[in-house]
Every structure is written in C-alpha cells, then in structure tokens.
C-alpha cells in the first residue's frame, strides 16, 4: 500500500487512522524545496527496514495564495482543514489564506507565507500519521551579487537530523529559523560576496562569469549541481577532475556544466580518449538526464544540454555511472546517474 493510500485510508475514520498509527513506522527522510514548492518523502517499517515507500508532493494549480492546492502522491489536500478528507468526487480542496495586510501584501510576502504553509501542511500530515523524521532536507534558492560573477543564482540545502523532530512544533520552529536566518548569515543580501563563497556555502549554483574558476576549484568541488559559464579551463583541468571523481567515493555531485568563454576551445578526442568510455546504451540509462531537477531553475538556457544520446559513459568501481558530453567543443557536461532510469 502506497503512502497516498495510507493517507487516504486514515481520513475515512478515526479508528482506521489509529490502526495505521499503531504500525511501527519510520520516516527515513523528507526533502523539501522551498523555491519550487515540491518535495519527496520516504517511509519504511522500523523493525523490518523494508519495503521503503516513497512519494512526491507539491503545490499545484494557480500561484495565488488563496487558491493553494497541495498534491501528495495522487490525492489533493486542503491546508485549511489540514487532514479533513472530502469524498473522491471532489478533485481539489481549497485553502484560504490568512489575511496579509489586506489586499496590499507584496508578492514576496505572499510567497513566503505560501512556502511556510505548504511546508507546515505536508510535515503535519506525515508526522501526525508516521511519527518522527530521521532526516529533513530543506533547500532554498537565491540570487546574490558576487565580485566578478555579478548576479548569481545559487541554491543551498541544510540537513536537519532527528534530534530536531520530537514534535511537529519543534520541526516547524527549526524550519522557520532556516527560512530566514541562513541566507542572512551565510549569503547576506545587499552585499557583494566573494566569488569562492558559491563553492563553500551552497549546494547548487549557476555562476555566469566564472573566469576566476581554476582547476583547483574543480578538484575541490562539493556542490551537487554546479554550472560555471565563461570559464577558462584547459582540457587537462577537465581530465584531472574526471579522474579525481572516478577515484573517489564522492556521491554528492550530480551535475557539473563548464561553459568555456572561448568558443571551440575544448578537444573532444583528448578528453574522451583519456577514459574507457562507451556510447549510450538505452538498456543502461535514460536518454535525457533528470537527476538535477533544479538545473533549469538555475540555468534555463541549458535544456538542450540534458539530452545525453551523444554522451559517452564511464562507470566507477562502485557501479556509479557518469556521462561525459561536450557540446560544440565549448561546453563540457558531467552527469552522474544516481538513478539510471527515471521510473526506478
């Protein structure tokens, strides 16, 4: 029985909800993206440790706060009623927002309120039915001004371990702190930040003027999704990065895109020839890379780079597959297939 089925059953009667809650559930982790207003949850039986059940949740419908609808799996919930269930012939619930300065609330305030309510509604549903969360991952995206890069879109993810999740109220207090405090302390607005801060304080980012980015930065990269434009790297820098990753146990990196400032400055044969690569096999992985859902948020012009039919694959000793793709001898793409097929 899937997570959404358990949620639906729990709303049919108090007795059914009580029965479901008596099962020894364990929330393995919940990941929430504050910017995209979507996330995923995984649960399992605490004693047997399997099977792991997973589903996604997101805001759907219009952007207006007064018309907020939340989908969990394949069912829709009303934040105003939180856990009241409407018969299946009603497709949507409608969440009426609290008053925000009447009709004069700024779009920023409305969105912040929408973020908080979305997160609180989803977390309440999961915690109320399945208990404590082992790990909560909260992600945010911001645009900040950097010394030479200019306005840069960056993303950070903060992991909140089990100690913070004794109760729903305790969890939400921590979420509220993260929503407001982290960006002000590590990524303060209104200040020009040092370029290297994008490497040390963010989990994802798109740097539009990365001529300062060197081979050493590439070797110490710890971001999950890294996009650097107008780089001046060499073929040797890129080969060293690939070799370093293949000899490591790094499982953080998902995507690295390096778009050179000089057109045609990459030697495809030299880079591909340095490794035992294989052309795309449809039985081994998908054609289009979907492992970094925030990539197009950070770099909307990069959609054409995600087609890996012309990419070459290499496999690390631990079985992790990576795709090397070079577009127009100018843009190097490195994709790590933590999940080789979208429907796995």
Q: Where are the domains of the chain?
A: 3-139+158-180, 203-337
Indicate whether 99 pLDDT > 50: no
Cα 106 → chain centroid: 26
Of the two residues 164 and 137, the one the predictor is more confident about is 137
Query: What letter does residue 275 receive in the DSSP assignment?
Result: S
So what's the pLDDT on residue 260? 97
pLDDT at 197 exceeding the cut of 90: no
User: Poorest-confidence range of 94-103, 170-179, 236-245, 288-297?
Assistant: 94-103
**pLDDT at 200 exceeding the cut of 80:** no
> Would the pLDDT of 102 be above 60?
no
pLDDT tens digits, one per residue of 16-51? 988 998 988 888 889 988 888 889 999 998 887 777
Q: Taking Cα atoms as reference points, which of 93, 149, 99, 150 lies closest to residue 125?
A: 93
Say whether pLDDT at 335 is over 90: yes
Average per-residue pLDDT for the chain:
81
Angle CA 242–246–247, to nearest 5: 120
Q: Could you tell me if 26 and 46 are in contact, meaning their C-beta atoms sit under 8 angstroms apart? A: yes
Residue 300 has pLDDT above 90, yes or no: no
């Amino acid at each position: 029985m899937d997570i959404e089925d358990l949620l639906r059953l729990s709303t049919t009667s108090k007795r059914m909800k009580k029965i479901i809650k008596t099962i020894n559930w364990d929330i393995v982790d919940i990941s929430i993206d504050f910017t995209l207003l979507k996330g995923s949850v995984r649960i399992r039986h605490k004693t047997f440790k399997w099977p792991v059940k997973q589903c996604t949740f997101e805001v759907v419908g219009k952007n207006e706060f007064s018309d907020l609808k939340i989908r969990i799996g394949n069912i829709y919930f009303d934040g105003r009623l939180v856990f009241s269930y409407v018969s299946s012939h009603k497709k949507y619930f409608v969440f009426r927002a609290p008053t925000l300065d009447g009709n004069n609330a700024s779009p920023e305030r409305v969105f912040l309120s929408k973020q908080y309510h979305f997160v609180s509604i989803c977390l309440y549903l999961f915690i109320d039915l399945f208990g404590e969360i082992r790990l909560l991952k909260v992600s945010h995206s911001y645009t900040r001004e950097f010394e030479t890069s200019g306005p840069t879109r960056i993303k950070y993810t903060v992991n909140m371990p089990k100690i913070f999740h004794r109760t729903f109220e305790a969890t939400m207090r921590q979420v509220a702190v993260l929503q407001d405090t982290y960006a002000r302390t590590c990524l303060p607005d209104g200040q020009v930040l040092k370029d290297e801060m994008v490497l040390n304080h963010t989990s994802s980012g798109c740097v539009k003027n990365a001529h300062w980015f060197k081979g050493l930065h590439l070797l110490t990269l710890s971001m999950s999704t890294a996009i650097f434009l107008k780089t001046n790297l060499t073929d040797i820098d890129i080969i060293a990065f690939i070799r370093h990753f293949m000899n490591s146990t790094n499982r953080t990196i998902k995507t690295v895109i390096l778009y050179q400032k000089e057109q045609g400055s990459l030697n495809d044969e030299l880079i591909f020839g340095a490794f035992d690569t294989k052309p795309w096999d449809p039985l081994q992985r998908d054609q289009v890379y979907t492992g970094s859902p925030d990539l197009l948020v950070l770099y909307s012009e990069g959609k054409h780079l995600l087609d890996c039919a012309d990419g070459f694959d290499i496999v690390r000793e631990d079985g992790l597959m990576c795709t090397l793709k070079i577009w127009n001898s100018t843009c190097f793409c490195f994709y790590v297939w933590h999940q080789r097929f979208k429907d796995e």
